[in-house]
């Protein structure tokens, strides 16, 4: 059996039969505020804690604010910045330069840094840089290919399509990755509940239960009580 890479998210690794199979890429898709960025940061923190090299590619937040957000959960990214952690910030508003960096710089960085974990937050902002459907597709396939070739285990976050929140906004990433984790809200007795599902995980027997999770000052935690409804 393939070695498992722990996400570091309590409750989820059990659902996955130990973690993400080594070398696989997964998509974490969800509406705004469901914890996609937190998920990606928690996954990177788990790696740093274990002495692994990690790359965090962000289109959402700049370096300073990534470090600050992580610190809010008690994760000290700054300690690793000149060693095991590489933060790459791409500008969603500067399409031309970001596209150049994605095409020319990222494959090199991914090859050279020899990270065992990579997180990309978010692919929805990457695809927004491109106008044509086939350019979006090609960009994600290429990025995923460089990551695969590096041997890293990766997480891509993506926003859902507001008209069909079961799928990502572009509907591309699901086909690029080996696994899909879906995050959503559900209203229950005047209270919003966060719900996690594993939609796909190649070569893995995984839980198909729908599980509640919470975001606390220590990050994401999947709750074990199976009965949500
Ligand atoms: N310290 C904390 N304690 C409890 N909940 C928190 C804490 N920090 C963040 N949250 C919750 O997590 C949510 C944001 O999570 P996150 O930024 O990871 O979501 P996201 O899916 O990346 O959102 P977006 O689509 O806007 O990027 C907040 O809206 C808040 O509800
Ligand atoms: Mg986010």
Give the distance from CA 125 to its chain's centroid. Answer: 13
Contact assessment for residue 25 and residue 148, using Cβ atoms and an 8 Å cutoff: yes
- Give me the pLDDT at residue 219, please: 98
- Give me the pLDDT at residue 87, please: 97
Contact assessment for residue 38 and residue 70, using Cβ atoms and an 8 Å cutoff: no
Closest protein CA for atom 23 of ligand 1: 33
The whole-model pTM stands at 0.96
Domain boundaries, the chain: 23-177
Closest protein CA for atom 13 of ligand 1: 33
The radius of gyration of the chain from alpha carbons, rounded to an integer in Å, stands at: 17
C-beta atoms surrounding 36 within 10 Å: 27
DSSP string for residues in 126-146: HHTT-SSHHHHHHHHHHHHHH
Q: Domain 23-177, what architecture?
A: 3-Layer(aba) Sandwich (3.40)
Cis ω on the peptide bond leading into residue 188 (within 30° of 0)? no
> How far apart (Å, rounded) are the C-alpha atoms in residues 162 and 97?
29
Distance 35 CA to ligand 2 centre (A): 7
Contact assessment for residue 7 and residue 16, using Cβ atoms and an 8 Å cutoff: yes
pLDDT one digit per residue (tens) for the chain, 229 residues: 679 999 999 999 999 999 999 999 999 999 999 999 999 999 999 999 999 999 999 999 999 999 999 999 999 999 999 999 999 999 999 999 999 999 999 999 999 999 999 999 999 999 999 999 999 999 999 999 999 999 999 999 999 999 999 999 999 999 999 999 999 999 888 899 999 999 999 988 888 889 999 999 999 999 976 555 4
Whether 34 lines ligand 1, by a CB cut-off of 6 Å, is yes
Q: Report long-range pairs for 163-166 (Cβ below 8 Å, ≥24 apart).
A: 165/31
Cβ-based burial of 110 (10 A; exposed 0-12, middle 13-18, buried ≥19): buried
Which are the contacts of 27, defined by CB distance < 8 A and separation ≥ 6? 123, 155, 156, 157, 158, 168, 173, 174, 176, 177, 179, 180, 181
Distance 58 CA to ligand 2 centre (A): 9
Q: Would you give the DSSP letter of residue 162?
A: T
Contact assessment for residue 31 and residue 165, using Cβ atoms and an 8 Å cutoff: yes
Ligand closest in space to the Cα of 29: 1
Q: 143: number of CA atoms within 13 Å, CB side?
A: 30
- Give me the pLDDT at residue 225, please: 64
């Amino acid at each position: 059996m393939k070695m498992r890479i722990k996400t570091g998210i309590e409750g989820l690794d059990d659902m996955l039969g130990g973690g993400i199979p080594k070398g696989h890429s997964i998509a974490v898709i969800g509406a705004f505020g469901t914890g996609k960025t937190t998920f990606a940061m928690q996954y990177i923190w788990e790696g740093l804690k274990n002495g692994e090299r990690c790359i965090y590619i962000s289109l959402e937040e700049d370096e300073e604010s990534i470090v600050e957000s992580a610190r809010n959960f008690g994760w000290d990214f700054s300690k690793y910045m000149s060693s095991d952690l590489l933060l790459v910030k791409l500008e969603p508003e500067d399409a031309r330069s970001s596209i150049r960096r994605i095409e020319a710089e990222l494959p090199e960085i991914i090859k050279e840094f020899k990270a065992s974990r990579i997180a990309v937050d978010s692919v929805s902002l990457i695809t927004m840089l491109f106008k044509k459907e086939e350019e979006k597709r090609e960009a994600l396939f290429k990025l995923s290919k460089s990551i695969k070739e590096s041997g890293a285990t990766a997480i891509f976050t993506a926003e859902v399509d507001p008209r069909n929140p079961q799928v990502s906004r572009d509907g591309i990433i699901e086909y690029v990755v080996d696994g899909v984790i879906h995050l959503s809200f559900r209203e229950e007795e005047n209270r919003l509940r966060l719900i996690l599902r594993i939609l796909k995980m190649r070569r893995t027997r995984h839980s198909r239960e729908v599980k509640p999770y919470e975001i606390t000052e220590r990050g994401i935690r999947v709750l074990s009580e199976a009965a949500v409804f």
